[in-house]
């Protein structure tokens, strides 16, 4: 007897379908555009993302909805994260335009690949089975490999792409290995069924489960960039074109957070004692290595890579507290970090010109003299990353620390704040360079003032203060996602 | 008529938004920016006056209270209010900011609008710190004020400014993050971030000691107490005059205020247990730092060390109360020590601000802070010399000036606790006179030392104005401190009642 085909409910996946259709449209339309009309591709890509956001809002459910035999879910978590990812990607696309044009890589493929990567992230967010998570992850990763290598003439970009590809493939392999063992134990790929299977098997196969869990955690750490699986991150950040670094440094963090929550909390919640301990070690190591090594960097992109590593440590702090409150705070942290990082890279992109690649911290010398407005925007982002009030970074740290203290891990909170003091130093150094140093003679900084970039970047940066003063709205959504 | 006005919010946000306005006025029109800054600071000062005139001295409860829900998820409130401890410090802040704006008028030419804006925004944050009754709100203001100060020292400071400002920021930050953990811990226990809920939170002795130490690190760095004082001389020396004035007059007071608002009432048992530690640190500051001040060659550094010594009196006054009560003098004697510490804070705000302004006046003309470069300034700048000698006398604790009142009250109270503590504290009367007057002798008096001094011109009307305003304040407070002491009475008595009851 052939199994009956059940028509799945397609509505929950409407945003993904809209995006896929539109992305194909962008791909085709771009073929017929001349280089002068490339702006239309950008416009269409932004429209795609905006439409996707609209679709997400339209299908936003009150309670969790699942489809495709339970392997695809749409809940509050997915809604908020998808909107965040699309919004951040809009910023990325707009900020990148002038950089791409200056470096002769202003091609439609950048946007098409970016959209496919975004689609992959959206799939990851909603995926509720191992298979779909992996599909989303690979769609994201393969698009990113191509985006990094996009500038064919750049040796460092090719090197980065190669490195990212090899290490990314290895991480995926580790993840798959863990998945295969879980499949062997539970006989299912669905996270709900896995969860109940783990619950019933936990006393019989503790070692096998722990073994499989280790591989899953290692795979996740690779993708998130937690120490000691972080080595790829600084090289890729530095070697990629800045427009791609901006993309890698923002939206995929949100997707990585979603994947972590889906796998560890939804699927393997019964093993939380084990993964919580693993994450504790990873978090402390990430905060230590990230913050200390960042001090020694002279390349701004590389410094931000190490800063990302330390922020990943903070995000893990929220998750390892294993409370709804902790997950909500980690989610808040991730979203606001992505917004903050887009300001930092965005300002760096603005400073780039034809024939001049702004990427060293010293390239920011005397920015307050030549362009006080952009200096102020970057300073706000730096203070936010350092966690100084009234920026949102402070509030994000507060929520995470609060979650940690709530589960009686005061010592961990003390460790975290001590490392954030160390971290403060290199953020302050950026501000020092911009405000206290005089511009170098060879820097005749004439910044191309594209109005749309300026407006968006200003709103983005001032939003960090606004969110810091009024965090309740976003925080309420984050709490809702885990209630 | 002011009863329903959100007066505290107004005095916090007027300077902040005024500062942003000044920022947008830009450098193209610095004179406009200066005028806006002056108007904003004056309006703010005038708005703080009703806080004094409408202040009720018959209650220890918070006045001018504003309380709104802010971040519901963590029960954080926008909760403002003032009592007898915070009100004088708010007036001090708004007064000093006016002085700073006037003092920077022609002196700051490089990016004048940013300079003025930084001080106005800082004023808002500092008033916010003094009036916040929610601990997270307090913390946000407490930290946020570091940003403008960091920029002020770093942009307009002296040769070694970058080292000094980074040290300043990192020192203060490391202290305050531990306090943040303590606050979160207490939130986990009480479910609220309101400071008064912390006051009434039951805590075991070990918990109290850990929390006390966390607060101690935060506030001791800010005061600064020996041995975490080393950032202060660096920051003072490198900061522009206005930065030094705000730093000495207001920012140091936030540490003292923190002890009264947080440490004593939240952890009274730990405070009683560890009062020897604070008393030792305070006496070391008074005696040892006094000697260190004696050998300084840089005038600003000398005044910075004298600040540390004077702030030692403040912390001594705050933490000697347990010994006074134990010696059987009751709360009456203890109140004298606390009020002495408070008077000393306000008085030191005026005097140290004035001393830094005096050095600034000379520095603007000579571009040197070295004592050795001066001599016989009185011959060429007689009016200025009169002011400087007056402020130096106040700094040394001359009766009739405000510097005498606070020191005298604290020494008097210390006698009730122990003769030897009082003896060591009283050494400051000798040391303070020694280092201040010796500096005056070398700088102001004697023969004209060199051609540069001979070419000096006396102070102009603008400089006369701000020095005269400060001189009036110092003299008024010295001759008639009652208006200040009276507003503190109910609050101080309530505080003493509160800390007399063990929380364990």
The per-residue DSSP string of B450-494 comes to: SHHHHT-----HHHHHHHHHHHHHHHHHHH--HHHHHHHHHHHHH
Q: Is the pLDDT of residue B1 over 60?
A: no
Instruction: Indicate yes or no: CB of A398 within 8 angstroms of CB of B180.
Output: yes
**Cβ within 8 Å, pair B140-A471:** no
- The 3-state DSSP class for residue B66 equals strand
Q: What is the predicted pLDDT for the residue at B478?
A: 87
Nearest Cα neighbor of A189 from A179, A178, A201, A204 is A179
CA-angle at B276, arms to B271 and B281, nearest 5°: 105
In degrees rounded to 5, what are phi and psi of residue B460? Answer: -90, -175
CA distance B403 to chain A (A): 35
Chain B (327-366) residues lying within 8 Å, Cβ to Cβ, of chain A: none
**Residue A425 touches partner B, C-beta closer than 8 Å:** yes
Residue A28 has pLDDT above 60, yes or no: yes
Intra-chain end-to-end CA distance of chain A, in Å: 42
pLDDT of residue A287: 92
Contacts of A398 in chain B (CB under 8 A): 74, 136, 180, 184
User: In chain A, positions 68-97, which contact chain B (CB-CB < 8 Å)?
Assistant: none
CB contact under 8 A, B144 and A424: no
By Cβ distance, the residue of A368, A413, A421 closest to B184 is A413
- Cβ-based contacts of B174 with chain A (< 8 Å): 418, 421
Tokens linked to B203 = 């805590």
B20 touches chain A (CB under 8 A): no
Tell me which of A226-235, A243-252, A339-348, A354-363 is least confident: A354-363
pLDDT bracket for residue A3 (50, 70, 90): low
- Are residues A436 and B136, on separate chains, in Cβ contact within 8 Å? no
Q: Which residue of chain A has the CA closest to B138?
A: A389
Contact B72 A410 (CB under 8 A): no
Of chain B residues 131-170, which have a CB less than 8 A from chain A?
136, 139-141, 143-144, 146-147, 150-151, 154-155, 161-162, 165-166, 169-170
pLDDT tier at A303, thresholds 50, 70, 90: very high
Q: What is the largest CA-CA distance in chain B?
A: 69
Cβ count near A40 (within 10 Å): 16
Instruction: Check pLDDT > 70 for residue A442.
Output: no
A residues 365..404 contacting B (CB < 8 A): 368, 372, 383, 388-390, 394-395, 398-399, 401-402
| pLDDT of res. A359 | 83
From A57, A63, A67, select the one nearest A12 (Cα to Cα): A67
Name the closest residue on chain A to residue B153, using Cα atoms: A436
Question: Does the pLDDT of residue A49 top 80, yes or no?
Answer: yes
What does the pLDDT average to over B127-144?
Answer: 92
Interchain pair A421, B170: CB under 8 A? yes
Q: Is the peptide bond before B419 cis (omega within 30 degrees of 0)?
A: no
> B323: pLDDT confidence band, cut at 50, 70 and 90?
confident
Query: How far is residue B156's CA from residue B112's CA, in Å, rounded to a whole number?
Result: 10
Q: Do A432 and B162 lie within an 8 Å CB cutoff?
A: yes
The per-residue pLDDT for B419 is 87
Collect all residues with Cβ–Cβ distance below 8 Å to A144 and sequence separation of at least 6. A117, A164, A244, A247, A248, A252
B36 confidence band (pLDDT: 50, 70, 90): confident
Task: Assess whether pLDDT exceeds 70 at residue A448.
Answer: no
Query: A402 and B155 in contact by Cβ < 8 A?
Result: no
Q: Tell me the DSSP string of A345-381.
A: HHHHHHH-BTTB---BGGGGTTHHHH-HHHHHHHHHH
* The pLDDT of residue A151 is above 90: no
Domain boundaries, chain A: 11-481
Q: Which residues contact A318 (CB under 8 A, 6 or more apart)?
A: A326, A327, A328, A329, A330, A331, A333, A399, A400, A403, A404
Q: Do the chains contact at A413 and B181, CB–CB below 8 Å? A: yes
Can you tell me the distance from the alpha carbon of B198 to that of B215, in angstroms, rounded to the nearest whole number?
13
Distance from the first to the final alpha carbon of chain B: 44
Q: Is the pLDDT of residue A104 over 60?
A: yes
Please, which pLDDT band fits residue A353 given cuts at 50, 70 and 90?
confident
Q: Is B100 exposed, middle or buried (0-12, 13-18, 19+ CB in 10 A)?
A: buried
DSSP annotation of B67 reads E
Q: Answer yes or no: do B140 and A394 touch at CB < 8 A.
A: yes
Mutate to test the interface with A, among B139, B180, B203, B221 (most CBs of A within 10 A): B180
The number of angstroms, rounded, from the C-alpha of B391 to the middle of its chain's C-alpha atoms is: 17
Local structure of B75: helix, strand or coil: coil
Residue of A nearest to B111 (CA): A369
With b meaning 16 or more CB within 10 Å and e meaning fewer, what string describes A60-89?
beeeebbbbeebbbbbbbbbbbbbbbbbbb
Confidence bin at A445 (pLDDT 50/70/90): low
Confidence of residue A283 (pLDDT cuts 50, 70, 90): very high
% pLDDT > 90, chain A:
52
Res. B326 pLDDT band, cuts 50 70 90: confident
Q: Which residues contact A377 (CB under 8 A, 6 or more apart)?
A: A343, A347, A457, A458, A461, A462
Average pLDDT, chain B: 87
Given an 8 Å threshold on Cβ–Cβ distance, is A389 in contact with B139?
yes
Mutation site, A428, A473, A475, interface B, largest B CB count within 10 A: A428
Is B151 within 8 Å of A390 when comparing Cβ atoms?
no
- Using CA atoms, how far apart are residues A441 and A435, in angstroms rounded to an integer? 16
Partners of A74 in the beta sheet? Answer: A65
Pairing type for strands A72-74 and B76-82 reads unpaired
Residues A132, A123 contacting (CB under 8 angstroms): yes
Instruction: Check if the beta carbon of residue B254 is closer than 8 Å to that of residue B222.
Output: yes
Mind listing the pLDDT tens digit for each residue in B399-417?
888 888 888 888 888 888 8
- Inter-chain touch A394–B70, beta carbons under 8 Å: no
pLDDT over 90, % of chain B: 20
Asked if B244 contacts B349 with a C-beta cutoff of 8 angstroms, the reply is no
Inter-chain touch B181–A471, beta carbons under 8 Å: no
Interface membership of B181 toward A (CB under 8 Å):
yes
Rg (CA), chain B: 22
Kindly report, residue by residue over B17-34, the tens digit of the pLDDT.
Answer: 988 888 887 767 778 888
Contact (CB<8Å) B150/A410: no
Cβ–Cβ contact B70 with A under 8 A? yes
B-chain CB neighbours of A419 within 8 Å are: none
- A292 touching B, CB under 8 A? no
**Best interface-test mutation with B: which of A388, A407, A438, A465 has the largest number of B CBs within 10 A?**
A388
Chain B CA closest to residue A423: B170
Q: With an 8 Å Cβ cutoff, are B185 and A405 in contact?
A: yes
Q: Do B154 and A436 touch (CB under 8 A)?
A: yes
Is the Cβ pair B166, A425 closer than 8 Å?
A: yes
Task: For residue A370, list chain B residues with Cβ-Cβ distance below 8 A.
Answer: none
Contact B74 A421 (CB under 8 A): no
Q: What is the mean pLDDT of residues A440-446?
A: 63
B154 closest CB neighbour out of A421, A435, A472: A435
**d(CA A389, nearest CA chain B) in Å:** 5
């Amino acid at each position: 007897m052939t199994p009956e085909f059940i028509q799945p409910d397609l509505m929950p996946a409407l945003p993904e379908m809209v995006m896929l259709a539109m992305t194909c449209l962008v791909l085709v339309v771009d073929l017929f555009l001349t280089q002068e009309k490339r702006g239309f591709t950008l416009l269409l890509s932004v429209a795609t993302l905006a439409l996707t956001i609209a679709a997400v809002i339209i299908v936003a459910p009150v309670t969790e909805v699942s489809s495709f035999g339970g392997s695809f879910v749409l809940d509050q978590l997915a809604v908020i994260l998808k909107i965040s990812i699309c919004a951040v990607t809009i910023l990325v696309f707009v900020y990148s335009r002038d950089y791409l044009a200056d470096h002769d890589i202003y091609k439609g493929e950048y946007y098409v690949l970016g959209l496919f990567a975004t689609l992959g992230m959206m799939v990851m967010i909603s995926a509720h089975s191992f298979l779909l998570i992996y599909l989303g992850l690979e769609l994201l990763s393969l698009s990113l490999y191509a985006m990094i290598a996009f500038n064919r003439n750049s040796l460092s970009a090719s090197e980065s792409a190669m490195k990212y590809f090899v290490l990314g493939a290895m991480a995926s392999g580790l993840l798959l290995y863990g998945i295969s063992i879980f499949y062997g134990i539970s006989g299912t790929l669905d996270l709900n069924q896995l969860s109940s299977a783990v619950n019933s098997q936990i006393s019989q196969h503790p070692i096998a489960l722990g073994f499989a869990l280790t591989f899953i955690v290692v795979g996740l750490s690779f993708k998130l960039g937690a120490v000691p699986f972080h080595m790829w991150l600084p090289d890729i950040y530095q070697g990629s074109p800045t427009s791609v670094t901006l993309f890698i440094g923002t939206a995929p963090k949100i997707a990585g957070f979603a994947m972590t929550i889906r796998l560890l909390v939804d699927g393997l919640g019964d093993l939380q004692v084990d993964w919580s301990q693993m994450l504790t070690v990873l978090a402390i190591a990430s905060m230590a290595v990230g913050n200390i090594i960042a001090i020694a960097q002279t390349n701004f992109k590389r410094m931000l890579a190490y800063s990302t590593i330390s922020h990943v440590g903070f995000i893990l702090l929220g998750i390892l507290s294993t409370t709804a409150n902790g997950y909500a705070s980690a989610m808040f942290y991730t979203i606001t970090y992505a917004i903050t990082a887009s300001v930092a890279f965005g300002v760096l992109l603005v400073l780039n010109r034809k024939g001049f690649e702004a990427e060293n911290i010293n390239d920011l010398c005397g920015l307050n003299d030549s362009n006080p407005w952009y200096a102020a925007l970057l300073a706000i982002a730096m203070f936010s990353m350092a966690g100084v009030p009234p920026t949102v970074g402070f509030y994000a740290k507060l929520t995470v620390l609060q979650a940690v203290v709530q589960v009686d891990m005061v010592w961990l909170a003390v460790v975290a704040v001590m490392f954030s003091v160390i971290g403060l130093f290199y953020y302050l150094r950026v501000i020092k360079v911009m405000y206290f140093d005089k511009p170098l003679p060879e820097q005749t900084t004439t910044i191309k003032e594209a109005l749309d970039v300026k407006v968006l970047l200003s709103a983005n940066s001032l939003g960090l203060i606004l969110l810091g003063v009024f965090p309740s709205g976003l925080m309420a959504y984050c709490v809702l996602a885990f209630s | 008529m002011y009863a329903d006005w959100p007066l505290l919010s107004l005095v916090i946000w007027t300077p902040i938004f005024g500062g942003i306005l000044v920022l947008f006025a830009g450098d193209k029109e610095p004179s406009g920016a200066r005028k806006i800054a002056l108007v904003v600071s004056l309006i703010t000062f005038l708005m703080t006056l009703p806080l004094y005139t409408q202040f009720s001295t018959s209650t220890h409860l918070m006045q001018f209270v504003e309380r709104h829900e802010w971040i519901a998820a963590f029960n954080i409130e926008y909760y403002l209010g003032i009592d007898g401890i915070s009100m004088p410090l708010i007036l001090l802040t708004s007064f000093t900011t006016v002085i700073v704006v006037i003092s920077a008028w022609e002196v700051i030419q490089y990016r004048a609008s940013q300079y003025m804006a930084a001080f106005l925004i800082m004023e808002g944050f500092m008033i916010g710190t003094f009036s916040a009754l929610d601990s997270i709100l307090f913390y946000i203001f407490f930290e946020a004020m570091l940003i403008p100060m960091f920029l002020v020292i770093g942009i307009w400071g002296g040769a070694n400014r970058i080292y000094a400002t980074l040290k300043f920021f990192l020192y203060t930050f490391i202290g305050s993050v531990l306090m943040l953990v303590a606050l979160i811990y207490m939130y986990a226990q009480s479910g609220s971030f309101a400071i008064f809920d912390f006051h009434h939170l039951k805590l075991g002795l070990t918990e109290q000691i850990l929390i006390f130490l966390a607060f101690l690190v935060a506030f001791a760095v800010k005061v600064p107490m020996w041995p975490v004082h080393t950032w202060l001389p660096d920051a003072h020396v490198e900061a522009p005059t206005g930065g030094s004035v705000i730093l000495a007059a207001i920012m140091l007071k936030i540490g003292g205020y923190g002890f009264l608002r947080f440490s004593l009432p939240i952890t009274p048992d730990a405070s009683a247990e560890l009062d020897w530690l604070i008393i030792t640190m305070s006496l070391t500051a008074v005696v040892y730092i006094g000697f260190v001040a004696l050998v300084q060659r840089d005038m600003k550094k000398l005044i910075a060390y004298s600040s540390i010594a004077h702030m030692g009196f403040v912390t001594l006054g705050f933490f000697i109360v347990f010994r006074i009560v134990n010696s059987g003098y009751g709360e009456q004697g203890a109140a004298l020590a606390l009020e002495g510490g408070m008077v000393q804070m306000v008085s030191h705000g005026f005097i140290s601000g004035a001393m830094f302004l005096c050095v600034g006046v000379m520095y603007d003309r000579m571009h040197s802070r070295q004592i050795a470069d001066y001599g016989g300034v009185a011959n060429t700048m007689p009016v200025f010399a009169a002011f400087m000698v007056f402020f130096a006398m106040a700094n040394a604790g001359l009766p009739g000036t405000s510097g005498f009142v606070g020191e005298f009250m604290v020494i008097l109270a210390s006698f009730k606790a122990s003769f030897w503590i009082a003896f060591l504290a009283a050494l400051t009367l000798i040391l303070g006179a020694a280092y201040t007057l010796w500096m005056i002798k070398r700088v102001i008096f004697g023969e004209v030392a060199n051609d540069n001094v001979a070419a000096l011109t006396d102070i102009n009307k603008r400089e006369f104005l701000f020095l005269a305003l400060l001189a009036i304040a110092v003299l008024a407070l010295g001759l008639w401190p009652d208006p200040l002491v009276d507003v503190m009475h109910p609050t101080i008595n309530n505080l003493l009642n509160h800390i007399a009851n063990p929380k364990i």
